[in-house]
Amino acid sequence: MTASRTVLVTGGAGFIGSNFIRHLLARYDYHIINLDKLTYAGNLDNLRDVEDDPRYRFVQGDVCDAAVVTELMNEASAVVNFAAESHVDRSIEDAGVFIQTQVYGAFVLLEAARQAPSLDRFLHISTDEVYGHSIGDQRFTEEDPFRPRSPYAAAKAGGELQCHAFGETYGLPIVVARPANNIGPYQYPEKAIPLFVTNALDDEPLPLYGEGLQVRDRLFVDDHCEALDLLLHSGEIGEAYNISAGNERANTEVAETILEMLEKPKSLIRFVEDRPGHDQRYAMSSRKLEALGWSPRHDYEAAMEKTVAWYRDHREWWEKIKSGEYREYYERMYGQRLAESKPFES
Determine the size of the site formed for ligand NAD (CB under 6 A): 30
State which residue, 104 or 209, has the beta carbon closest to ligand TYD. 209
Does residue 185 touch ligand NAD according to CB under 6 A? Answer: no
Alpha-carbon distance of 177 to 240, in angstroms, equals 6
Residues, the chain, total?
A: 346
State which residue, 113 or 269, has the beta carbon closest to ligand TYD. 269
210 close to 293: Cβ distance less than 8 angstroms: no
Give me the residues that bind ligand TYD (CB under 6 A), please: 88, 181, 191-192, 195, 207-209, 214, 216, 251
Task: Give backbone dihedrals phi and psi of 58, rounded to 5 degrees, phi first.
Answer: -105, 135
Rule CB under 6 A: choose which of 25, 28, 33, 36 binds ligand NAD.
36
Alpha-carbon distance of 67 to 108, in angstroms, equals 10
Max alpha carbon distance in the chain (Å)? Answer: 61
Q: Which of 28, 30, 131, 152 is catalytic?
A: 152
Q: What is the DSSP letter of 125?
A: E
Does residue 37 touch ligand NAD according to CB under 6 A? Answer: yes
- Does the annotation mark 128 as catalytic? yes
- Does the annotation mark 152 as catalytic? yes
Q: Which of 36, 62, 85, 129 is catalytic?
A: 129
State which residue, 153 or 268, has the beta carbon closest to ligand NAD. 153
Does residue 322 touch ligand NAD according to CB under 6 A? Answer: no
User: Looking at 186-345, which runs of residues are DSSP E strands?
Assistant: 206-209, 215-220, 240-243, 248-250, 269-272, 342-343
CB-based contacts of 22: which residues, under 8 Å, 6+ apart?
Answer: 47, 49, 50
State which residue, 21 or 269, has the beta carbon closest to ligand NAD. 21
| Partner in contact with 14, chosen from ligand TYD, ligand NAD, none, beta carbon below 5 to 8 Å by kind | ligand NAD
Residues annotated catalytic, as ranges: 128-129, 152
